[in-house]
Homo-oligomer: A and B are copies of this chain.
Amino acid sequence: MHDLLEKIFLPAFANPVLETRHDSAVLDVAGTRVAFTTDAYVVRPLFFPGGDIGSLAVNGTVNDLAMAGARPLWLSAGFILEEGLPTDTLERVVASMRQAAHVSGVQLVTGDTKVVDQGKGDGIFICTAGVGRVEHALSIAPQSVRPDDAILLSGDVGRHGMAILSVREGLAFESPIASDCAPLSPAVLALLDGGIEVHCLRDLTRGGLATALIEIAQASGLHLRIDEARVPVEDAVQGACELLGFDPLYVANEGRFIAFVAGAEADRALGILRTSPHAAGACRIGEVADEPSGLVTLRSRIGASRLLDMLSGEQLPRIC
C-alpha cells in the first residue's frame, strides 16, 4: 500500500494538500478551514463483535476528521453491493450507519449505490467521505510536536484487530473480544473546547500504536519514549496475542488515538479525556525527549529498553 502511494498516487496527483499526507485534507472555503477525507471499507466479516462495516464506515471517516481537530458535519456514502445480497443484511448495515452518524452528530447528505454481479464483489463495500469544520487555530501535525510534550493514549489497544481475527478464524476465547470501533470526535473536541493546546493527534488504525508513534517520530525528527507498562491491553487481547504470535502494540484499533500536548497540560488533558465516553481509560504513556533522533524507545515491563521498528511482513488483510 505504501508502495502504491509512493509510486503511483502521489506522483500522479502531486499537489501541496496531498503532500501533507494527513488523514484529512484541510482546505480553505472563503476563510473557513474545512477538513475533507475519504476511506473505503471492505472489512470481512461484515458483522463482528463491537461493530460492523456500517459503524466502521461512519466512525472511521469521522475519526479522520477528528484527527485534524475538525468538527464532523457531513458524510457521503457510496455503496457497492454484490447481486444477491439479502435485503436485511443491507438494512442492518444502514441502521448501524444511522446510529453511528447520530452519535457523532454527522449528517449523511449524499450517496450512491451500484450493484455488481455475483462473484465480482463481496457482499458490501462502502466508501465514505467526510467534511468537517476546523474551529481551532492550532496547527495539529507531527511538525508541531515539541520536546517535553506528554504522549497521551485514549484507552486500551489491540481490540479491533483481535476481534476481527477471532471471528474470522472461529476462535473462541474465555471472554469474547469486542472491537473498540467508536467515534473519536467527542474526545478530541472536548480537549479543544477545554483550551488544551494540542500539538498532534493520530488515530491508531492499521499498524497499531507502534506504527503511529514511529511515523510521528520520523516526521517530527524527535525521540519518543514510551513505557510499555503504561499501555493498557485487555487480558483477553493480551492472551489472544500471545497465543497467535501478535504484538498488541502493532494490532489495529478503530476507536483509539494518541495526543501530544505540552507536559504541563497533561494532567488537565487527561481529566478532560476521561469524561468522554470513548476515552475513559485515557492515560499518559510517555513523553518526547529533548533530543533529535526520529526514533521510538520502548521501556519494557522488566526495565529493558528497545527501539520500536516498523512492522515488516504481512498485516492482516481486510480488517477495515
Contact = CB atoms under 8 A, between A and B. Distances in A.
A98 B133 CA distance: 27
Interface stretch (A103-111, A219-227, A236-244, A283-291): A103-111
Interface in A86-114: 87, 90-91, 94-95, 97-98, 101, 107-114
A260 interface: no
A25 B106 CA distance: 14
A76 B129 contact: yes
Contact of A121 (B9, B27, B121, B317): B121
A77 interface: yes
Contacts of A12: 94-95, 97-98
Contacts of A29: 29-30, 32, 34, 133
A9 B111 contact: yes
Contacts of A39: 78, 112
Interface stretch (A13-21, A174-182, A266-274): A13-21
Contacts of A317: 115, 117
A103 to B, nearest CB: 14
Contact of A38 (B90, B97, B111, B120): B111
A301 interface: no
Which of A76, A101, A108 gathers the greatest number of chain B CB atoms within 10 Å? Answer: A76
A31 B127 CA distance: 28
Nearest to A125: B80
Interface residues of A, number: 63
Contact of A42 (B31, B77, B114): B114
Contacts of A77: 38
A54 to B, nearest CB: 10
Given A32-B32, A116-B42, A25 B110 contact: yes
Nearest to A87: B8
Interface in A121-141: 121-122, 125, 127, 129, 131, 133
Contact of A112 (B8, B25, B38, B133): B38
A57 to B, nearest CB: 10
Contact of A110 (B18, B74, B94, B110): B18
Contacts of A38: 76-78, 110-112, 127, 129
Given A29-B29, A121-B121, A8 B109 contact: no
A267 to B, nearest CB: 35
Contacts of A36: 74, 76, 109-110, 131
| Minimum-distance CB pairs A-B, first 6 | A127-B127, A129-B129, A38-B76, A40-B78, A25-B109, A78-B127
Interface of A: 1, 4-5, 8-9, 12-13, 15, 17-18, 23-25, 27, 29-32, 34, 36-42, 73-74, 76-80, 87, 90-91, 94-95, 97-98, 101, 107-117, 119-122, 125, 127, 129, 131, 133, 317-318
Given A38-B127, A42-B116, A125-B125, 11 more contacts: A4-B90, A17-B74, A17-B109, A18-B108, A27-B73, A30-B32, A34-B34, A37-B110, A116-B125, A120-B121, A131-B131
